[in-house]
Amino acid sequence: DIQMTQSPSSLSASVGDTVTITCRASQSINTYLNWYQQKPGKAPKLLIYGASSLQSGVPSRFRGSGSGTDFTLTITSLQLEDFATYYCQQSHIARTFGQGTKVEI
Which residue ranges make up the site for other proteins (CB under 8 A)? 1, 30-32, 34, 36, 38, 43-46, 49-50, 55, 87, 89, 91-92, 94-100
Return the number of the residue (7 or 77) whose C-beta is nearest other proteins. 7
- Closest of 2, 9, 16, 27 to residue 102, by C-alpha: 9
* Bridging pattern class, strands 101-104 and 10-12: parallel
Complex with other proteins: residue 15 or 93, whichever CB lies closer: 93
We find the least distance from the C-beta atom of residue 101 to other proteins, in angstroms, to be 10
CB 90 to other proteins: min, Å: 9
